Copies of this chain bind each other. A is one copy, B any other.
Amino acid sequence: MPMIIGVPKETAEGERRVAMEPSVITKLNKLGAEVCVEAGAGAAAFITDDQFKKAKIIDSSKELISGADIIFRVQAPSIDDVDAMKEGSTLIATIQPHNNLELVKKLQEKNITSYAMELIPRISRAQSMDVLSSQAAVAGYKAAIMGSDLSARFFPMLTTAAGTIRPSKVIVIGAGVAGLQAIATAKRLGAMVEAYDVRPETVEQIQSLGAKAIELKISAAGEGGYARELTDDEKTQQQEELASYIAQADVLITTAAIPGRPAPKIIPETTIDVMKSGAVIVDLAAEGGGNCTLTQPGKTITTNNGVIIHAPLNVPSQVAVHASEMYAKNLLNFITPMFNDEGEFTPDFEDEIIAGALLTHAGKITHEPTRELLEGAK
């Protein structure tokens, strides 16, 4: 009996991605698994049921979920959906346990082996499974596109018979995966791009894309390639120095994040006050509360001085086709080593990556921080 992988239609609002892609089905079949896809699961990502022809199309969501040994999802399932799952089956999704404690409990109760993709350790070998990277790349690209679309100005310089259009200045705050992609895209469009990040190694990376690195006097390099939180004093200083740069910006893209914490508030109202009328802020950190104090996640507002603050949620969803493709491939790369040559599903729970992503297993919460949140420190 081959393992059955079920891919339900996403239920979260505004979610257009799907955790499957036609070419991935073929590869899963090769591994020895069978794939079932809910009818219309790919519709929002423009993948028709026809294109999923290598998979079994199942009309009812409940039927699909209850029949599957492994569920592939983009976002965390509803409690109901977990209820419908087989006891002891496997769930792979971006579960965000700290926001979904109840769900985790449910998973534990139902004895479900669940993996939170976003918890995969960011080691070299795991890069091909890293959904944070793949979806951040999508978001970064899209942020630049949204910025150019919202701006009432040209990005590139144009010398025309009706005068010379000066290129827009785009400033990117946070040069992680998303930030770098935003830099690259804005540069492509011909904008003058400057970028800032607290981690000093980003200077070279920013320059390697042909953009200018803004160098302030504060460094916040933390462990494992992530940033640490800044002290209050440092924050104020950072803000002031940055404000003088940001005042020049036509488009400001903010991507700053600190893992497991709310997004740092880097752009206070005072900074926005000095910005140009018609300037656009795309706050990619909206999901974590935003990098601007004025950010209203999910909304687009215009301030009194004419600054447009766009704070989109679930940006990768907007590039649903390719975001789904990359997400599905991440899942494929994650699950591939769990199958042995005979097509049996034998995850190695000792493996650094699997252990890192494992949230619940055999009735236990294996992810320590989540367990602490739910059950208190040991």
Tell me, in angstroms, the Cα distance from A152 to B148 when the chains sit together: 16
- Choose from B48, B128, B188, B327 the contact partner of A188 (Cβ within 8 Å): B188
- Nearest B residue to A308 by beta-carbon distance? B46
User: Contacts of A163 on B, CB cut-off 8 Å?
Assistant: 325-326, 329
- Choose from B16, B158, B188 the contact partner of A156 (Cβ within 8 Å): B188
- Nearest B residue to A188 by beta-carbon distance? B188
In contact, B322 and A152 (Cβ under 8 angstroms)? yes
Of the listed residues A130, A148, A190, the one surrounded by the most CB atoms of chain B closer than 10 A to its CB is A148
Q: Cβ of A343 < 8 Å from any Cβ of B?
A: no
Number of this chain's copies in the assembly equals: 2
In contact, A152 and B46 (Cβ under 8 angstroms)? yes
In contact, A319 and B188 (Cβ under 8 angstroms)? no
- Nearest B residue to A189 by beta-carbon distance? B188
Known: A152-B321, A321-B152. A165 touches B326 (CB 8 A): yes
**Minimum CB–CB distance for A317 against chain B, Å:** 9
Q: Mark A317-352, 1 if CB is under 8 A from B, else 0.
A: 011111001110110010000000000000000000
User: Which applies to chain A's interface (DSSP): helix, strand, loop or mixed?
Assistant: helix
Q: Cβ of A271 < 8 Å from any Cβ of B?
A: no
CB neighbors of B among A114-171 (8 A) = 127-128, 130-131, 133-134, 137-138, 141, 145-146, 148-149, 151-154, 156, 158, 160-163, 165
Residues of A at the B interface (CB closer than 8 Å) are 16, 45-48, 127-128, 130-131, 133-134, 137-138, 141, 145-146, 148-149, 151-154, 156, 158, 160-163, 165, 185, 188-190, 276-278, 306, 318-322, 325-327, 329-330, 333
Q: 8 other contacts beyond A46-B306, A134-B161, A188-B190, with CB at 8 A cut-off?
A: A46-B278, A130-B162, A131-B162, A134-B160, A137-B160, A145-B148, A153-B321, A154-B319
Q: Could you show 8 A-B contacts with beta carbons less than 8 Å apart? A: A130-B162, A133-B160, A137-B158, A145-B145, A156-B185, A163-B325, A165-B322, A188-B189
